[in-house]
Copies of this chain bind each other. A is one copy, B any other.
Amino acid sequence: MPRNFADRLLDEIDAKQNPSCVGLDPTVVELPPYLKKEVLDEAKIYDRDPGERTEALFKATGEALFRFNRAIIDATCDIVPIVKPQMAFYECYGPEGVRAFLRTVRYAKQKGLLVIEDAKREDIGKTASFYAKGHLGVVELLDGTQVPNFDVDSMTLSPYIGSDSVGEFVKVCADLGKGVVVLAKTSNPSSGELQDMRFADVHGGRFLYEQMALLVDQWGGTLKGERGYSSLGAVVGATYPEQAVRCREMMENAIILVPGYGTQGGTGRDTLPNFNSDGYGAIVNNASKLTFAYRQEPYRSKFGEKKFSEAAREAALVMRDDITGAMRVAGKLPSKW
């Protein structure tokens, strides 16, 4: 029986004394220009005739995304427990983008990192089972061979379809020691349109995001690990600390994935409600402000584009110290750190 994902994650958080997560959301516009030039030159793009050029450019784009991620992983793998590639930034380039995603996942795992895929998938039963197998589990190839495909440790899910969808992922998690994270309260401005609507008294008068927190608590029961946390977690944005207090109360055993730190304005202090008093129960994600730190001051002047990965490492250390500093002040540092 493989070790429970929540247990593996908490062990890594302890090992690094850091509950933060590096978001791998690379975009062509933000990649260091020297890196783009390097890959384009190697691919000899301008020697190709137009018929071949587009395909070669898709390949080169995937290669550049992977090289960028590899450098970020090398620069941060000893200080963070987990990375979160966002599938949108890869699949938008089709097969070659998905290949870059796959290479990134494999490289991160090789370097001892856990990988949570941000994919926000959901579907009805049979279809959901194919998502679950393809992302977390094993798929059946044409001759009947069963092999893993993306083989990430955990992935995000959308909740609208309900337990028919989530249940298919939970089955794979239970068998293989994997995890999922279900949206409860997202970090974006329009998240209130549905999530902050209140249900009728007959449903307990709860807000939709609270109903989700309740369901996460129920659904997560079967995936609880030795350390008391479940491998079924929830997304609760750093931009909504009040809702985070409620979510934390309603799903004590869930590990909360906290987006919205950095880019969307959340600070270390804003993430405090997501942690339990034992100092666990949350991981805080930061993507562009960290991986593309070289594009902003004070990192730009200090590092420049060629040292983009060192800039990312420094930004990751600043983030760690911001969060753990806030945890210390609030008396929420894990006792064994």
A residues 193-217 near B (Cβ < 8 Å) are 193-195, 197-203, 205, 208, 211-212, 215
Bound: A131/B91 CA distance, A: 8
Q: Is A175 an interface residue (CB 8 A)?
A: no
Q: Do the beta carbons of A92 and B149 come within 8 Å of each other?
A: yes
Q: Do the beta carbons of A127 and B93 come within 8 Å of each other?
A: no
A92 in complex: contacting residue of B99, B133, B145, B159, CB < 8 Å: B133
Q: Do the beta carbons of A88 and B57 come within 8 Å of each other?
A: no
In the assembled complex, 15 residue pairs joining A and B whose CB atoms fall closer than 8 Å, in A order, are A28-B141, A36-B143, A57-B142, A57-B143, A89-B130, A92-B131, A93-B139, A122-B158, A160-B160, A160-B194, A162-B192, A163-B190, A198-B200, A198-B202, A199-B200
Q: Is A222 an interface residue (CB 8 A)?
A: no
Binary contact track A160-196/B, C-beta < 8 Å → 1, others 0: 1111110100000000000000010011111111110
Q: Do the beta carbons of B190 and A161 come within 8 Å of each other?
A: yes
Binary contact track A19-54/B, C-beta < 8 Å → 1, others 0: 000000101110100001001100001000000001
Bound: A159/B27 CA distance, A: 25
Contacts of A135 in B (CB 8 A): 92
A264 CB to nearest chain B CB (Å): 8
> Which secondary structure dominates chain A's binding surface?
helix
- Say which size band chain A's interface belongs to: 35 or more
Closest to A288 in B: B126
Q: Is A102 an interface residue (CB 8 A)?
A: yes
Bound: A149/B60 CA distance, A: 15
